[in-house]
Amino acid sequence: MNNTITQAMQKRNIKENLEEILELSTMDIDSAISCFYVNFSDGKPFTGVSVRLAEIIASTWGNIKTGATITKNDGKYIYVKGFVNDIQKNSTFEIEILRSIVKYNNLPMSGEELQKVSSAACSIAFRNAVLKAIPTSYINPIINKIKSFINDNVQDDTWKGYINFFKAKGISEGDMLKKFSPDKGVWDDSSVILLIGFKNAVDDGDAAIFDLFPKAKIQKKSSFSDIANVEVSEEKIESSTDTSFLSNFLKDSEEKAKDIEESTDIAKKTNSGTRDMFSSLNKEETEVIEKDLPENPVKRGRGRPRKNQQ
């Protein structure tokens, strides 16, 4: 049976495969834009193959089996293995990556968040395995041709939409030019490619905006729910402030003060009434009461009695 499979399997034609990869990756501007990413290391940009281009490569290369699977989940990280089995060469290529599944507040991710992280990790592991199995010397010339196709066909509103994406994160256009066009300070073919490529890296999970723009404004999620915190302007806060509790507090305080005053008056009246009662006794009645009182009342104090008192 294995001999039958080997006989039916056509040997790959590398030249034809590369031509097919280029044709599929430049069918339209959107396909071309999605085929690469740009990241930065020590302030210098480098270009990489995106997951989309890796899928095109795997589907056209022929005689290979590819995939990715989660091999371990320890509660803090997921471990994902990407693999490529080259049937024609009888060789296997594997690569493992890990991704954190704990949020910034040390709470576990929700099911939806875990699904997104797992899918992204599997895609990246698959991409890395494909690039490990297929020499980059075949792919680099294709990437250069894809970039040329983008520069020739991209529309102004398309790449300016990428500028607006970063502006929405609190990044000014001047800050973008400092990173993507540090020498010229204007948008040209190379700087537009860097802009688009870095956006792709952020979308695919190969980079974070903070890596290049530390002051980027990213909306964080509440530690008590998966709902993003709503940013409220100062004007809105002032208009929505409820001060009714102040009047209620003052009213309650006045009522309590009035009750205390009335209680004090009653106590004064009671004490004065008692004094009046004793003062109304005649001399004989007072002498009768004094006879029942002890001559030396017992003194009560704190601690042990002194020796002379024992």
Shared domain check, 86 and 13: yes
| Number of domain units in the chain | 2
Q: Write b or e for each residue in 228-259: b if 16 or more Cβ atoms lie within 10 A of its Cβ, otherwise e.
A: eeeeeeeeeeeeeeeeeeeeeeeeeeeeeeee
108-146 per-position pLDDT tens digit: 888 888 899 999 999 999 999 999 999 888 999 999 999
Shared domain check, 254 and 180: no
C-alpha distances in Å from residue 96, one per residue of 48, 66, 178, 204 = 18, 14, 35, 17
Shared domain check, 176 and 75: yes
Residue 261 has pLDDT above 80, yes or no: no
Lowest mean pLDDT among 118-132, 138-152, 264-278, 286-300: 264-278
Shared domain check, 281 and 166: no
Give the three-class secondary structure for 80.
Answer: strand
Residue 195 has pLDDT above 80, yes or no: yes
C-alpha distances in Å from residue 165, one per residue of 8, 156, 172, 202, 258 = 49, 14, 11, 11, 63
Residue 229 has pLDDT above 50, yes or no: no
Shared domain check, 258 and 116: no
Lowest mean pLDDT among 69-73, 143-147, 178-182, 263-267: 263-267
The pTM assigned to this predicted structure is 0.65
The answer to the question of residue 227 being in a domain is no
Residue 147 has pLDDT above 80, yes or no: yes
Q: Which domain holds residue 89?
A: 2-212
